[in-house]
């Protein structure tokens, strides 16, 4: 039950980040993923809903909490983006147009 809540929470955070933040490309193997960048200010004000003075003070414990949070979210986001790419690749292989030309293949015997 707890893991479902964590996944739902991370998914909502990722979707919020996708709308609010510019991306950073992360390359894994031959695929590049657009991982969203989270800033301390957006985390402090929008996620934690701390007052402006506290966010501007950048207390060491708040910065540590932010770094831990951002690391966890970015790991989940990268895993999520990898899974989306994998599903997209599978879908493109299984839903191909049978009349399309297959490149790299020859008809007949060599």
Tell me which of 24-28, 42-46, 55-59, 83-87 is least confident.
24-28
CA–CA gap between residue 110 and residue 91 (Å, rounded): 31
User: In terms of Cα–Cα distance, which of 77, 37, 78, 45 is closest to 62?
Assistant: 45
Q: How far apart are CA 95 and CA 105, in angstroms?
A: 19
Q: pLDDT tens-digit profile of 13-48?
A: 454 544 444 444 455 555 566 666 789 999 999 999
Rounded-to-integer distance, Cα 13 and Cα 48, Å: 12
Predicted TM-score (pTM) of the model is 0.48
> Residue 2's pLDDT band (boundaries 50, 70, 90)?
low
């Amino acid at each position: 039950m707890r893991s479902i809540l964590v996944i739902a929470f991370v998914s909502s955070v990722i979707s919020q980040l996708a709308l609010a933040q510019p991306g950073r490309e992360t390359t894994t193997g031959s695929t590049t993923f657009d991982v969203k960048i989270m800033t301390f200010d957006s985390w402090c004000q929008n996620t934690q809903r701390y007052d402006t003075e506290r966010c501007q003070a950048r207390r060491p414990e708040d910065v540590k909490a932010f770094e831990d949070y951002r690391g966890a979210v970015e790991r989940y986001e990268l895993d999520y983006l990898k899974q989306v790419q994998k599903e997209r690749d599978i879908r493109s292989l299984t839903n191909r147009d049978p009349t399309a030309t297959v490149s790299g293949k020859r008809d007949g015997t060599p």
